Amino acid sequence: NAGVTQTPKFQVLKTGQSMTLQCAQDMNHNSMYWYRQDPGMGLRLIYYSASEGTTDKGEVPNGYNVSRLNKREFSLRLESAAPSQTSVYFCASNTYRVGATDGYTFGSGTRLTVV
Amino acid sequence: QQQVKQSPQSLIVQKGGISIINCAYENTAFDYFPWYQQFPGKGPALLIAIRPDVSEKKEGRFTISFNKSAKQFSLHIMDSQPGDSATYFCAASDLYDTNAGKSTFGDGTTLTVKP
């Protein structure tokens, strides 16, 4: 039972390069999320997908785009990377329905450095 | 506007002592309050969670105390062990947000338990 799988685990980009962070879950969860973690700033929501076919902006969406490819996969794309996007990126998923949830299951993260 | 404020930022406790981490929230629509534990190089993992219909929830050495009128909740770790050394995040979400059960996180507390 793999849970939430993120690839790659590490990446170094040059300013202006693009890349896609991949996330897949095998728990049949309906909702998926992308967070970034920066020292002293906790986890901030970038984008989320409440269900297959829908995506919405979170707290810090600028410079990112997402695709909910199917129920299992939710990718995050940086079109033109900037040093301010150096961070650790976490994908998470959960089963959500109005009035109930089971909490998040997180992936192990992608450590991204933009130089 | 930070909706979940967590304190302290760091905490050092002797083995066998009690660790206490506090969180305060502003949004009265929040009705689900989980705590996550994160070890270095790993993603956060759900530790324990509470709904506002109870004032306390205990799982092993971990207890959440919840004060709805004060809009505060706290994590107590009894008989703290060196293996509890990790970063702890509180979070809050509105389960009647029909768009998704997305969580807002505190900034995290780094706990060190000295042997």
Yes or no, beta carbons of B107 and A40 under 8 Å apart? yes
A107 chain-B contacts, CB cut-off 8 A: 43
**Residues in a beta bridge with A6:** A23
Whether the upstream peptide bond of residue A39 has omega within 30° of 0, thus cis, is no
pLDDT grade for A39, boundaries at 50, 70 and 90? confident
Contact B56, B62 (CB under 8 A): no
pLDDT grade for A98, boundaries at 50, 70 and 90? confident
Report angle CA B91, B94, B97 to the nearest 5 degrees: 140
The pLDDT tens digits of the residues spanning B14-63 come to 999 999 999 999 999 999 999 999 999 999 999 999 998 899 999 999 99
Yes or no, beta carbons of A90 and B96 under 8 Å apart? no
The confidence score (pLDDT) of residue B2 equals 60
Residue B108, pLDDT > 80, answer: yes
Distance from CA of B9 to the nearest CA of A (A): 8
Q: What residue in B sits closest to A37 (Cα-Cα)?
A: B107
Yes or no, beta carbons of B42 and A109 under 8 Å apart? yes
Q: Measuring CA to CA, how many Å separate B6 from each of A7, A81, B35?
A: 30, 31, 11
Cβ neighbours of residue A11 closer than 8 Å, sequence gap 6 or more: A19, A110, A111, A112, A113
